Chains A and B, each alone.
Chain A
Amino acid sequence: MTRAFVKVVIIAGGALALAACGERPQVVNYKQGTYQGKPDTPPYAGAPFNGNEKEWDNAIRTRNIAQNEYKRIGD
């Protein structure tokens, strides 16, 4: 009985101790010609636009046109 119990404990303990020994790739496997990094979100995804692409486009366009000083001073 005691021997069986010790056997079970050793097996369970061994399984528990070796649980972190799974073999995982330590390096990135590069696929030629494709971006391998983290995905990026579009600039309008977060605050203050919260996914409103139209609003972001308008904000950028306003700033874009503001670079033309002929538009600023008028004809």
Chain B
Amino acid sequence: MARMKFLCDAERCIECNGCVTACKQEHEIPWGVNRRRVVTINDGVPGERSISVACMHCSDAPCMAVCPVDCFYKTGEGVVLHDKDLCIGCGYCFYACPFGAPQFPQAGAFGVRGKMDKCTFCAGGPEQDTSEAEFKKYGRNRLAEGKLPACAEMCSTKALLGGDGDVLADIYRQRVTVRGKSGEVWGWATAYGLPGQAPQRSAPAGTPAPAPTPPASGTKS
């Protein structure tokens, strides 16, 4: 049984927002609701990284833990979904989620919150699969069609991967190995770069190491 996960490779993400657009288009998401968005760290400075963020379908989801009406459930594939008929739009899940995934459409005047909406891993919700009711409430059910989430499948640089966690790990491992980062092929530094340092690109074998650049003095001599 597949264990569905997303994985975003910050080395590859070019902040094109194609994933955001694909999600919006696929599920006909209303204005003001962003199931997926691209976050850029150190925007405009060397070492800038972007990462596509949505619901990460946590194994131990905090949204499920805090929901006062227990409207969340987890499918056999590890996808965290919720029943909009039960949701009271309290916003607890939004406070609990470390990724800011839950979204609340403005339901009426005075900023009244509607029922929570979030990434469904393109797996619909608790309505009949691929039915009109399911599409209206939760969006398209691509998993039931044997497809993976639209955002991941249409990512042009394949920075965003979606699907069985084991397969994604294999893809990412091979990718990082090909990049040739020798000792530190895993971890925070590989994914996001070292703090205060531009990403190190691997040079082909036999290339001499670049001469160290002198530190900028800040004054004209």
Measured CB to CB, the residues of A under 8 A from B are: 28, 30-49, 55-57, 59-61, 63-65, 67-70
Q: Whole-angstrom distance from the CB of B149 to the nearest CB of chain A?
A: 10
- Within the complex, the shortest CB–CB distance from A60 to chain B, in Å, comes to 6
- B interface residues with partner A (beta carbon < 8 Å): 1-2, 68-73, 75-77, 81-83, 85-86, 123, 125-130, 141, 143-148, 152-153, 158, 161-164, 167-168, 170-171, 174-175, 178
**Which of the residues B82, B127, B146, B168 comes within 8 Å of A60, measured between beta carbons?**
B146
Expressed in whole angstroms, the Cα–Cα distance for A10 and B85 within the complex equals: 42
Q: What are 10 A-B contacts defined by CB distance under 8 Å?
A: A30-B70, A35-B70, A35-B72, A36-B69, A38-B83, A38-B127, A40-B126, A64-B2, A64-B163, A67-B171
Contact B163 A70 (CB under 8 A): no
By secondary structure, the A interface counts as loop
Given contacts A36-B71, A60-B164, contact A46 B126 (CB under 8 A): no
Residues of A within 8 A of B126 (CB): 37-40
- With a CB–CB cut-off of 8 A, which chain B residues contact A42? 75-76
Instruction: Give Cα distance in the complex from A57 to B168, angstroms.
Output: 15
* B86 A28 Cβ-Cβ under 8 A: yes
Q: Complex: how many Å from CA A23 to CA B211?
A: 84
